[in-house]
Amino acid sequence: MKKGQKALVIDDSALVRRFLKKELERLGFEVEVAKDGEEGEKKALANRYDFITLDIEMPRKSGLEVLESIMQENPTRVLVISAYVIENGEIAMRALELGALDYIKKPNSKVVTGEEGFIKELENKVRDSMKINKLSLLRRKNKPLRQPNSIEKPAKFLPNEDKKYVLIGASTGGPKLIEAIVRSLPATYPYPVCVVQHMPDTFTEKFAQRLNTISQNSVVEANNGEELTPGKIIIGKGGRHLHFRRDGSKIVCKLVPNFSNRFFVPSVDEMFLSALEVMNPKNIMAMLLTGIGDDGADGMVALKKSGAYTIAESEESATVYGMPKEAYVRGGAVKVLHFDEILQEIIAFGSSNGVKKSRS
């Protein structure tokens, strides 16, 4: 960390506050603390912190209320540290939607100082969070995502055209973008959409259920044998890689254990590379959105070389310009676009006019 960077710890446990303060100071931060949500909100809005840790269940004001206020008034890097984020996936989903960058399950406050795994996870996620440019958080505050103009006027599709597929990969900052895509697709969208969003095992089912409530199309968590049908949106299952196989004339999902020892499970690369084995690459639109690391970059290169239409999110709109940057640097992107333009491209891909595969 850079010297002089400031952090705020918001937690109602004195023991946890002391522990987190000590660990963040070890990482180089100047650290202040707040004993409940109300005090934390006041400090977060009155000061410019580089990083904030936030508990969820607190007296006077909940962590989710504080997070919403922070991201609306003074966007800051926020890491949720709570005992509830794993047990209650809805809370974690809501925190990510409101703008939290990541989350950690907090151990029992009586043993937190002895949890070596927790300390290592905290250090890694703090370092990852600090790689994110705060300007991207400000852009998200000041420029809400646009909805494509074509939503209200469903496209007319060509009859008897080859089956086509939309493949999407995302990580940190992705859930809000996936939600925007799902909300934008018209009920007449003619192609299946498959999504790998890096999430823990217990979250993807709840994520799919939440998306299904806002979509004009069916949104499901991937299952073995799940058929890719027009308009269906399939969310990769946490803890398994999303592969595809042929079943007669159909293409269906195949869930695979992490035999390849990937860091992320599901992995975007696994989905992209599997698609090449069973789909005509010239009928694939694949995109890599915001995220730390390089998962999906090699798969994008292979897809592009085979004739697929590949898009990487631009640095301007990406919360974390890691995965899409690697795809671009390695030559895997036909286009590099702002997320608002990516929404338009997805809709255009399903229209009779198609899209122009020009380079950007």
CA distances from 98 to 74, 151, 240 (A): 13, 24, 27
Please tell me which residue in 129, 171, 267, 314 is annotated as part of the active site: 171
- What is the DSSP secondary-structure string of 84-109? TTTT-HHHHHHHHHHT--EEEEPPPT
Burial (CB < 10 A; 0-12, 13-18, 19+), residue 205, is: middle
CA distance 31 to 54: 13
Annotation says 171 is catalytic? yes
Residue 126 corresponds to which tokens in the numbers above?
Answer: 């703090």
DSSP-based three-state secondary structure for 71: helix
Q: Which two tokens stand for residue 50?
A: 């580089």
Q: Are 284 and 309 in contact (CB under 8 A)?
A: yes
Q: Which of 11, 55, 129, 198 is catalytic?
A: 198
Mode of pairing for the β-strands spanning 241-247 and 250-256: antiparallel
Is 274 marked active-site? no
Q: Name the catalytic one among 11, 50, 55, 295.
A: 295
Catalytic residue at 295? Answer: yes
Alpha carbons 301 and 295: distance in angstroms, whole number:
12
Residues with a catalytic annotation lie at 171, 198, 295
